[in-house]
């Protein structure tokens, strides 16, 4: 089946915003909720890109509406009272500028059955609308792969047909199934990394290998049989790597980080 374009997807999900006593547009705007897990799905803009966007918005106004998920706190996973909530789906950077300068804006209401469906939509939408770096595209494909694997794993039925998620996504994005699996590993590493490292990798300030090296550096050295001197060196390197990773990243500190992680990987590599 042919993949639907994003405008078709948006039209399917969008509903008219009709003012009423319960959900007038102004009331919705004042109650928009930003979920970190959705915001963090979006590859960050560089400082220059964000500055350019802010200048464009201030000059021309907020041309594109913010996309809002009309749901309840229980479905969104942020409460248990089953009250209406309005979650920001698309427009996080614009919303930041709107709040900073108190600008007017329009909204589109969309409806999804679950938070996972929202994430899947956001990932697909981002992959189709922006000029992404290879790291950003890899992360988004990997997130979608990991989500679909988890979803299918939790909904297996004896009569359900077997679906190879990696092959399905590979065909959709025009890459190999091996690439999709590597994307999944990369995305999982980023999700487990320090938020500052994740942000810098996706912003291009750190190479893709940095998060994998730092993740490897977090392994329990007690499982490595290198003798007391070797373990001490490993511990020292791990400490230095964590310190560098959490410091302000300059050209020199990045070079030091790569040097330390390469040295650590040499020590950890099986003989």
Q: Are 199 and 44 in contact (CB under 8 A)?
A: yes
Is residue 32 one of the residues assigned to a domain? yes
Distance CA(22)–CA(84), nearest Å, equals 10
Average pLDDT over residues 246-257: 72
pLDDT beyond 60 at 97: yes
Distance CA(209)–CA(22), nearest Å, equals 50
Q: What is the pLDDT of residue 225?
A: 43
Is residue 94 one of the residues assigned to a domain? yes
Of 7-21, 122-136, 176-190, highest mean pLDDT:
176-190
Which has the minimum average pLDDT: 97-101, 109-113, 217-221? 217-221
Is residue 108 one of the residues assigned to a domain? yes
Q: Are 234 and 268 in contact (CB under 8 A)?
A: yes
Residue that finishes a domain, picked among 114, 130, 148: 114
Distance CA(85)–CA(105), nearest Å, equals 19
Contact residues for 263 (Cβ-Cβ < 8 A; gap 6+): 237
Residue that finishes a domain, picked among 114, 145, 161: 114
* pTM, two decimal places: 0.65
* Structural domain that includes position 54: 6-114
- pLDDT digits over 113-153, tens only? 999 899 989 998 888 876 788 888 999 999 999 988 877 65
The structural domain count of the chain equals 2
pLDDT beyond 50 at 202: yes
Backbone angles phi, psi at 32, to 5 degrees: -65, 130
Is residue 210 one of the residues assigned to a domain? yes
Is residue 194 one of the residues assigned to a domain? no
Nearest CA-CA partner of 94 in 127, 131, 57, 122: 57
Contact residues for 173 (Cβ-Cβ < 8 A; gap 6+): 127, 141, 180
- pLDDT digits over 18-69, tens only? 444 344 788 899 999 999 889 988 887 878 889 999 999 999 999 999 999 9
pLDDT beyond 50 at 203: yes
What CATH number corresponds to the domain at position 110? 3.90.1530
Q: Are 110 and 104 in contact (CB under 8 A)?
A: no
Residue that finishes a domain, picked among 99, 114, 129: 114
Is residue 132 one of the residues assigned to a domain? no
């Amino acid at each position: 089946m042919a993949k639907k374009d994003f405008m078709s997807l948006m039209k399917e999900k969008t509903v008219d915003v009709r003012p009423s006593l319960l959900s007038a547009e102004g009331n919705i705007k004042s109650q928009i909720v930003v979920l970190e897990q959705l915001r963090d799905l979006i590859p960050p803009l560089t400082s220059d890109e964000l500055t350019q966007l802010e200048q464009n918005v201030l000059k021309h106004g907020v041309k594109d509406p913010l996309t809002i998920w009309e749901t309840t706190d229980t479905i969104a996973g942020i409460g248990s009272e089953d009250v209406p909530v309005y979650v920001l789906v698309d427009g996080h950077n614009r919303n930041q500028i709107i709040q900073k300068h108190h600008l007017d804006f329009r909204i589109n209401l969309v409806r999804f059955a679950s938070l996972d469906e929202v994430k899947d939509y956001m990932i697909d939408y981002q992959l189709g609308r922006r000029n992404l770096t290879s790291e950003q595209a890899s992360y988004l494909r990997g997130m979608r792969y990991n989500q679909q694997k988890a979803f299918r794993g939790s909904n297996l039925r004896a009569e359900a047909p077997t679906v190879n998620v990696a092959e399905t996504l590979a065909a959709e994005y025009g890459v190999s199934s091996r690439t999709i699996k590597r994307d999944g590993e990369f995305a999982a590493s980023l999700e487990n990394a320090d938020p500052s490292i994740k942000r810098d990798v996706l912003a291009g300030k750190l190479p893709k290998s940095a998060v994998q090296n730092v993740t490897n550096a977090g392994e329990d050295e007690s499982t490595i049989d290198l003798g007391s001197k070797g373990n001490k060196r490993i511990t020292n390197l791990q400490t230095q790597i964590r310190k560098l990773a959490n410091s302000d990243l300059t050209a020199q500190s990045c070079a030091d980080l790569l040097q330390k992680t390469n040295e650590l990987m040499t020590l950890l590599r099986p003989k």
